Structure 1
């Protein structure tokens, strides 16, 4: 790493240390509220519920990708975002939960059709599987759980790899026709996951 680049990374890390974690939570909570306002006022087009649902799902995937990128960025570029990882993970769960609630309460609405969709529509099955796996990660994203579970905590949170793949597949499967955006998300997730495997084997990544 060149001296100039190293200096830039050091200055960036110093600036990041001055950002309070609560600010990440506060800013992260706002987009669904803004999207709800857009949906209610006609700002999301002819199908506001569908658009609202899809925007929340895309945000969830973006935060998931950001969380997966933290370790490679630290190990390879020296950019230290570790103090924000828990916030990013919990915000991912927040967006997934909002995405699910919009589908349940505003899209499907009828209880009997919810289970029918989960069983009959593969993309819904995959999405629900990702959400179910995400729940224990959200519940244990606290210092008490880390201490209580010990090494099992790290093993449990490796479920995020499966969750990321399922989430991306959910997006690809629900898209009609050929769409580039879902494939970009899937490609980014696969790249981050494949990137970890040889690096872990060589002892570069934890």
Structure 2
């Protein structure tokens, strides 16, 4: 097992990060093509909004999974930033579609929904928590903040992704196995950080 893992890590060291960015754009390209082809069903705005949010959650959960995989010996840290920023980009597009296409920039109704609909408030809170992380996801930001302050700030990813998973569960009128699976996976990945002996290793997670 170890020689296989070493070979895989050697391959990962030589692999640049740009393929992650490229692969991250593929779902968006497919969604754009489906939108232009009128292939998003009877309510294309809702379908587009849902798919963008779901892809955002998937990429964010993938970024959350990097640290436990590192503990298991798989060196994926260099790809975590690309996964996280890609996830944020999809979440931002999800929010913009809701704001502009779904709500039509009707600000009083938007404000009312934030108060009256808990799932919208939960999702909006997750989005707000992700904004400073996206803005500081550069080498210059790490140098400016210092590694310790940067790591502390980026722990906001934990509650942000958890709230995103909760938003996905709450958005449906009934809970589905699909949405609960995303929530369970998120809770599991966060719970791994509480395991004895992982505290020191998880400081950069």
Same fold, TM exceeding 0.5?
yes
Partner SS for 1:158 = helix
Q: CA RMSD in A?
A: 1.6
* CA-to-aligned-CA distance 1:144-203 (integer Å, 9 cap, x gap): 111211211111100011001110110011112131111000000000111111245564
Number of residue equivalences: 201
When normalised by structure 2's length, the TM-score is: 0.92
Pick from 161, 185, 189 the counterpart of residue 186 of structure 2: 189
**Residues 1:100 and 2:92 aligned together:** no
Q: Look up the match of 1:180.
A: 177
Give the TM-score normalised by the residue count of structure 1.
0.91
Q: By how many angstroms is 1:33 displaced?
A: 2.7
2: CA distance between counterparts of 1:37 and 1:50? Answer: 16
Q: Partner of 2:40: helix, strand, or coil?
A: coil
How much has 1:110 moved relative to structure 2?
3.5
Any unmatched runs of 5+ in structure 1?
A: none
Where does the alignment leave 5 or more consecutive residues of structure 2 unmatched?
A: none
Q: Are residue 86 (structure 1) and residue 81 (structure 2) matched?
A: yes
Structure 1 stretches of at least 4 aligned residues deviating more than 3 Å after TM superposition? 199-206
Which piece of structure 1 moves more, 118-127 or 11-20?
11-20
1:136 to 132, 137, 141: 132
Matches within 5 A, 1:1-206: 5-76=1-72, 78-112=73-107, 113-150=109-146, 151-200=148-197, 203-206=200-203
Q: Aligned equivalents of 1:201 and 1:33: distance in 2? A: 39
| Partner SS, residue 137 of structure 2 | coil
Residue range with higher mean Cα deviation, 21-30 or 57-66: 21-30
